[in-house]
């Protein structure tokens, strides 16, 4: 079971925005990522919280988070997994811990400019979710080709048109994301998330976001994950087909 860090004081007002960031062995990225999230959120809403889910890190991540908690107080909340449970499990824990009316999630590797939230938040006035897609994606060519193929196949399987399923720049209404029955423990959670919201009739819109190279640390995505991801895709297709979810409503990418 996840171990939650110290709760915010009872007298503190509930935040408007919750920024969820999974982290696994991100000691070289995390401090910059947390500070960037605080700097981006502070001028946009009356109150915010940054929720870091430490997914069983074995490096200096826990100590770094303890220091940042001491400095930032209730603005930073930490959920700790005693062992690595996977990216999907970390995201689910972060979503359930969120108290803000709006939930945003991103990775802790500093590949996005969170100041783009300023142009993203207003889109939630007319939508349940905003899905970012990486503009000029800064990843190796093979990874981009595999991702493009997977996006095309998943869009065909679930009868949707989503440009970048695995882009970790997504924004939701809290009651919607907390009510979504997510099950994936690994990186397939992004696909499950979008497929379920699509078939449940969510109003969502896609928008481009700038993407930057990873400067520190290493991605935990491996080539060996590809076959398992395609198996997960087939299982999700069958599961959603059996569930017979409602009709679709969507907004096209600009």
Rounded distance between C-alpha atoms, residue 28 and residue 17, angstroms? 25
Residues 49 and 41: their CA atoms lie apart, in Å, by: 9
For tokens 């220091």, the residue is: 67
* Catalytic center residues: 190
Provide the CA 249 distance to its chain's centre, in angstroms: 22
Q: What 3-state DSSP class applies to 91?
A: helix
Please tell me the distance from the alpha carbon of residue 111 to that of residue 194, in angstroms, as a whole number.
21
For residue 49, what are the β-bridge partners?
18
CA 190 to chain centre: 8
Q: Which residue has the tokens 């919750």?
A: 18
């Amino acid at each position: 079971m996840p171990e939650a860090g110290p709760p915010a004081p009872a007298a503190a007002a509930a935040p408007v925005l919750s920024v969820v960031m999974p982290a696994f062995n991100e000691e070289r990225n995390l401090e910059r990522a947390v500070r960037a999230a605080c700097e981006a959120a502070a001028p946009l809403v009356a109150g915010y919280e940054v929720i870091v889910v430490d997914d069983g890190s074995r490096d200096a991540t826990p100590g770094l988070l303890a220091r940042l908690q001491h400095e930032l107080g209730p603005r930073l909340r930490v959920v700790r997994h005693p062992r690595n449970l996977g990216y999907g499990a970390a995201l689910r824990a972060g979503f359930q811990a969120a108290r803000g009316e709006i939930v945003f999630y991103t990775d802790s590797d500093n590949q996005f400019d969170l100041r783009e939230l300023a142009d993203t938040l207003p889109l939630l006035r007319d939508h349940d979710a905003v899905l970012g897609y990486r503009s000029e994606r800064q990843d190796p060519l093979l990874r981009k080709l595999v991702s493009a193929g997977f996006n095309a196949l998943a869009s065909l399987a679930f009868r949707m048109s989503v440009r970048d399923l695995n882009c970790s720049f997504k924004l939701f209404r809290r009651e919607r994301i907390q009510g979504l029955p997510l099950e994936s423990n690994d990186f397939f959670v992004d696909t499950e998330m979008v497929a379920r919201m699509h078939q449940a009739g969510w109003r969502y819109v896609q928008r481009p976001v700038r993407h930057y190279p990873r400067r520190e640390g290493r991605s935990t995505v491996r080539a060996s994950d590809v076959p398992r991801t395609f198996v997960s895709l087939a299982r999700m297709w069958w599961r959603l087909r059996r569930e017979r979810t409602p009709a679709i409503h969507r907004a096209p990418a600009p």
